[in-house]
Structure 1
Amino acid sequence: MLNSIVTIICIALIAFILFWFFKKPEKSGQKAQQKNGYQEIRVEVMGGYTPELIVLKKSVPARIVFDRKDPSPCLDQIVFPDFGVHANLPMGE
């Protein structure tokens, strides 16, 4: 009887650990601010991009401002192949 209880507890604990590590993380989203005829959003680059998800209105020109604070060479460029954009991200700009 005790072995059955211990086995059930261990299986539940393993299931919880697997769920915790493999669950899909929620993405933080942010809507762009409306300015003089265009929409603008700021993205902080520090170990990743914050916000991870941006929401833009269709058919309204958009400006995305990246503020790079991470010196890692992995984050020194942005590429949007669908839009033909490939740009360097200088530190602090």
Structure 2
Amino acid sequence: MTARKVAAGLFVSLDGVVEAPETWHFPYLNEEMGAAVGWANAALIEGDVIAAVKELKQQPGGTITLAGSPTGVLDLTYRPV
């Protein structure tokens, strides 16, 4: 079995800011936007994210999407998953 891919996306303002999206992005989040970005089948991972993603990669399914966290993207980019 081939491991699933992890695709990362960030919330970025028009002027390139990725920090503190909760101050400018989430007031506009509703069900329509959640459906548009594919959050219908989303889960919040708490604790050891690297271990959780390693486990998810071994399960059948499509691409695993990480959204909204510059720190999470860096962790998954520079630490073996």
Normalised TM-score (structure 2): 0.21
Higher strand share: 1
Bigger Rg over Cα? 1
Indicate the structure with greater helix content. Answer: 2
